[in-house]
Amino acid sequence: MTDRTTAARPAPSARPATRDRALEAAYACVLELGIDRTTMVEVSRRSGVGRTTLYRHWSDATSLLADLLTRELTETVTRIDPGAAHPCPAGPGTADSDAPEPDAPRPDLVASHHFDPGVPRDADEIVDLVCTLADRVRTNPLLEAMRRHETGMLGEYLLRRLGTSQRALVDMLREMVATSADPRLTDRDPAATATMLYLALQGIVLSAPLADPPLDPDTWRAELHRLIRGYLLP
């Protein structure tokens, strides 16, 4: 288990500070109590943010937890490549809207994010980045707690639909392949390659604890690197 590194977050106004306090409280609550017991009442108690204020930001605990997952994923990408993750401009119905509407339709229940792959990379750099990202997500304390306690939320995004942050990661992978100058990737379909990469990584990361006998971290990383490189390169 790796220690969680919390990036410093500027607080130019009370609104971001309020959101961060609530998300940090939800994070601690999930680790301690699990998903089912992470309620708006408990988050309010731990964060000191009134329930009325919480409901102005999120319609329910599910949407709050979805935003928490998005934030964790965004921070994970940013820690690997500081220039890679940027929130999309806020708009109506998003978590960062100036006038939150709890009952407004939010198909994915998460804040929209765009992950910019940055400068073009060759195939080996893409393999290294993808493997590092997968390893960081695999060892993320929040994801581990959700695997251990959660009953339905992960299933929603694994079996029924992709959330906004998942789609953003697929787009990031697609752009990496599409903008790569590596001749070994010239004949690859960027969209198909990104989709298959993401689906494979999602299963591998979430199913990692099921390995029997368990794989030590070095072996897990080495085998993942071999698998991803074998898929991307002839």
Residue 85 pairs with which residues in a beta bridge?
A: 115
- Which structural domains are found in the chain, ordered by start? 14-232 (1.10.357.10)
User: Could you state, in chain order, the average pLDDT of each consecutive group of 10 residues for the chain (234 residues)?
Assistant: 42 65 95 90 96 94 89 81 43 33 34 51 90 90 80 62 75 91 93 94 85 89 95 88
What pLDDT, on the 0 to 100 scale, is given for residue 211?
A: 83
pLDDT score recorded for residue 227: 95
- Tokens 């903008």, residue located: 179
At 21 the pLDDT is 95
On whether the pTM is more than 0.75, the answer is no
Give the position of tokens 């992470």: 38
Tokens encoding 65: 């937890």
E strands within 65-148?
A: 85-87, 113-115
| Buried b or exposed e, range 183-217, using 16+ CB within 10 angstroms | eebeebebeebbeebbebbbebbbebeeeeeeeee
Measure Cα distances from 154 to 69, 70, 149, 157, 163 in Å: 10, 13, 11, 5, 10
Return the sign of the alpha-carbon dihedral for residues 154, 71, 46, 206: positive
Whole-number pLDDT of residue 120:
59
What is the tens place of the pLDDT at every residue in 48-68?
A: 999 999 999 999 998 998 899
pLDDT tens string 110-152: 334 455 555 557 899 999 999 999 999 888 898 888 877 765 6
